[in-house]
Structure 1
Amino acid sequence: MIRKIITIDEEKCNGCGLCASACKEGAIAMVDGKAKLIRDDYCDGLGNCLPACPTGAISFEEREAAAFDEEAVKRHMENLERAKAETAKEAFACGCPGTAPRILGGGKTAESGHGGCPGAASRALGGAGSEDGLSACHGHSPRAAVSQLRQWPVQIQLAPLGAPYFQGADLLIAADCTAYAYGDFHNRFIRDHVVLVGCPKLDPVDYSEKLTELFRRNEIRTVTVARMEVPCCGGLERAVRTALERSGKSLPLEVVTISVEGDILS
């Protein structure tokens, strides 16, 4: 039948995944860092995904397509929910040594502070480390704790591949927990770097796919990986090494391992 259905322009798609989250029928999935319409009969043609796209990559077209199948969508969503439940079960009940509870000794002082969605909009932040105090903690002098963050967003899954700040960047790819474990993280690691963060334990995605495209499309200068000592954090390092290999780029790579007590181990 001829009907209205969405179409996705891969050139405009930045891989943010907001459309996939907005689609209540699960018709859109992220494949190789790009949004894809996985089955015509999952798309109801109402276009809930259109306003979620920040780059205008999604539009309507009329073409030969299978009719919307509500029962097939219901089964598909049930399968997705089942997969999510299994992923959560594996993530939190695996007995991984990195999730073992422990009490850490005190005495360490943290010297630094601290779809379509407006909060996920890409932006470059100026004045990192400046004395104007715009990023300083409320109620303290600018010298007390000035953020060194230079760009937004910072989550690997939200970062747009074509953001201009990646060109010529010294890239820091950090595990989520590192900024909490290492007290001077902003000054030691974030200063003068573009930052991406993620957790291979909690995010049910393969980071290497998006990072491969990131390395291919941009002229990155150097890559630093900041990871925790726990075994599961090795997934982030492996994803970066795999992405570099697949991208064909030979970039300077430094891997810094931080202990749960906040010490740099290597």
Structure 2
Amino acid sequence: MKRRIIKIDEEKCTGCGLCAAACHEGAIGMEGGKARLLREEHCDGLGDCLPACPAGAISFEEREAPAYDHKGAAAAKTARTSAPPPCGCPGSRSETLRREPVSSSVRADAGSELTQWPVQIRLAPTAAPFFSGADLLVAADCTAYAYGAFHQHLIRGRVVLIGCPKLDAADYAEKLAEIFARNDVRSVTVARMEVPCCGGLENAVRRAVEASGKALPCRVVVISTDGRIVSG
């Protein structure tokens, strides 16, 4: 039968998994790092997944598809109520993260300062409301482990993106340049380790700022392997 059903643009999909988490009927799943319409018969064509996609990768189309399976979709919805988000990231979503009360046994200043999701450079959308007017922190992922006050001194008041130029087989400069160009980012802080391989992250940010055509203030904070800020 011909009916309205969703369509996922693989080129635009960042693999964040937000659409799969928003699909109550379990029609969408993650395969090969991309969102896929795995169960056409569970897609009701109402589009709860559309507003969840920060990359604009989902649209509607009219085409031949299996009839909507009400019973199967309802059963899948029940089964998903206790399951973790499809991308495997607890609390994965693009809006402001919910703050949990800090236990009386934990110092209040030990709370998380993270205000957006996702944080991985490769998963982040190139345009999102949280980038508007943001002071951006681009951090090597090791810095959060090396520097004990990372949340309070570096993340606080900033939108954060993390990555490792040595482990990721990608040049971050192109993605970051698009983020800088498409959003009203106010400033960029780079947090890197003092080890040589982290220079790749700093270099990517500097090239991205230049490629974006914007005069963004850029600060570099260098952290030692024993957890001290040695410059910046």
Q: TM-score range by the shorter chain?
A: 0.5 to 0.7
Aligned match for 2:188, one of 186, 205, 223? 223
Q: Which of 89, 94, 100 is the matching residue for 1:122?
A: 94
Assess, with a 3 A threshold, how the Cα gap between structure 1 residues 126 and 23 changes in structure 2: closer, same or farther. closer
CA contact (8 A) 1:122 1:160 kept: no
Secondary structure of the corresponding residue to residue 108 of structure 2: coil
Alignment check: 8 A CA contact 1:170 1:221 kept: yes
Contact 1:123 1:153 in 2 (8 A): no
**Aligned with 1:236: secondary structure?**
helix
Query: What is the CA distance between 1:139 and its match in structure 2?
Result: 5.7
> How big is the alpha-carbon RMSD for the aligned residues of Structure 1 and Structure 2?
3.4
The normalised TM-score by structure 2 is 0.65
In structure 1, the partner of 2:152 is 187
Residues 1:8 and 2:29 aligned together: no
Offset at residue 125 of structure 1 (A): 2.9
Shift of 1:8: 2.7
How many residue pairs match? The answer is: 181
Whether 1:210 and 2:175 are equivalent positions in the alignment is yes
Partner of 1:245: 210
Deviates more, 1:228-237 or 1:153-162: 153-162
Which residue in the other structure is 1:162 paired with? 127
State the shift of 1:232 in Å: 0.6
Q: Is the 8 A contact 1:122 1:159 kept in 2?
A: no
- Counting only pairs closer than 5 Å after superposition, residues 2-151 of structure 1 correspond to structure 2 as 8=9, 13=12, 15-16=14-15, 22-23=30-31, 47-48=37-38, 55=53, 56-57=57-58, 117=87, 119=89, 120-125=92-97, 134=100, 136=102, 138=103, 140-141=105-106, 143=108, 145-151=110-116
Instruction: Write the letter of the residue equivalent to 2:170.
Output: V
Aligned partner letter, 1:239: A
- Where structure 2 has 5 or more consecutive residues not aligned to the other structure, the ranges are 1-6, 21-28, 44-48, 64-84
Whether the 8 Å CA contact 1:9–1:57 is kept in 2: the answer is no
Taking a change above 3 Å as real, the CA distance of residues 181 and 141 of structure 1, as seen in their structure-2 partners, is closer
Contact 1:225–1:237 (CA<8 Å) still a contact in 2? yes
> In the superposition, relative to structure 1, how do residues 61 and 177 fare at CA in structure 2: closer, same or farther (>3 Å)?
same
Give the % identical residues: 51
CA contact (8 A) 1:22 1:49 kept: no
Contact 2:16 2:124 in 1 (8 A): no
Aligned residue type for 2:95:
R
User: Quick check: 2:166–2:197 contact (8 Å CA) kept in 1?
Assistant: yes
